[in-house]
């Protein structure tokens, strides 16, 4: 299974593509960030995110997309911007026929680090270890996106195990 994780942000949107084989081995395929110029009008920024995400989907052909659920924003204005970026990310996935899974930050950190209150550097260290990367993924948004993809793969694996072995 191949997952595109997206860490939505108003200034920078991270992405990470992770694959899990039949033995449960995780493999890093790509990661990076779509950086936005602050002076760029909002519709242009949203279009850039949309076009870039569609290009990433076309290149890496994920089976599904996972994004972080909004849980906190500094203020109403930043919450609205983040919501617009999340909407564009969902639209990019939907126009490519992909389902989108949403995860709370606590669930992502728990799946990757084993502790829901882990800080960003702990998440980055664990992502590096789980994917056997030679260096920390940069920028931090890319690392967060990889964590979101790993969370989805762990969740999907757990759900399929429960489906294969229902409780009696």
Residues labelled as active-site residues: 7, 68, 141
d(CA 159, CA 165): 10
What's the distance, CA 77 to chain centroid?
23
| φ/ψ of residue 38, rounded to 5 | -60, -30
Q: Token digits for 61?
A: 């052909």
Number of H helices, E strands in the chain: 5, 5
Instruction: State how far the Cα of 32 lies from the Cα of 41, in Å rounded to an integer.
Output: 22
SS3 for 139? coil
Instruction: Report whether 39 contacts 28 (CB < 8 A).
Output: no
- CA 7/CA 92 separation, integer angstroms: 14
């Amino acid at each position: 299974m191949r997952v595109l994780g997206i860490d939505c942000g108003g200034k920078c949107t991270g992405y990470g593509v992770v694959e899990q084989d039949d033995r449960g081995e995780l493999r890093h395929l790509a990661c990076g960030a779509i950086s936005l110029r602050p002076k760029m009008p909002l519709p242009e920024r949203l279009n850039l995110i949309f076009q870039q995400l569609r290009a990433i989907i076309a290149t890496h052909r994920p089976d599904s997309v996972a994004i972080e659920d909004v849980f906190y924003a500094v203020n109403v204005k930043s919450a609205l911007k983040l919501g617009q970026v999340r909407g564009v990310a969902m639209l990019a996935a939907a126009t490519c026929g992909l389902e989108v899974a949403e995860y709370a930050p606590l669930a992502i950190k728990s799946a990757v680090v084993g502790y829901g209150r882990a800080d960003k550097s702990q998440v980055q260290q664990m992502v590096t270890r789980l994917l056997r990367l030679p260096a920390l993924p940069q920028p931090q948004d890319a690392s967060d996106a990889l964590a979101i993809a790993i969370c989805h793969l762990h969740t999907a694996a757990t759900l399929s195990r429960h489906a294969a072995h229902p409780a009696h």
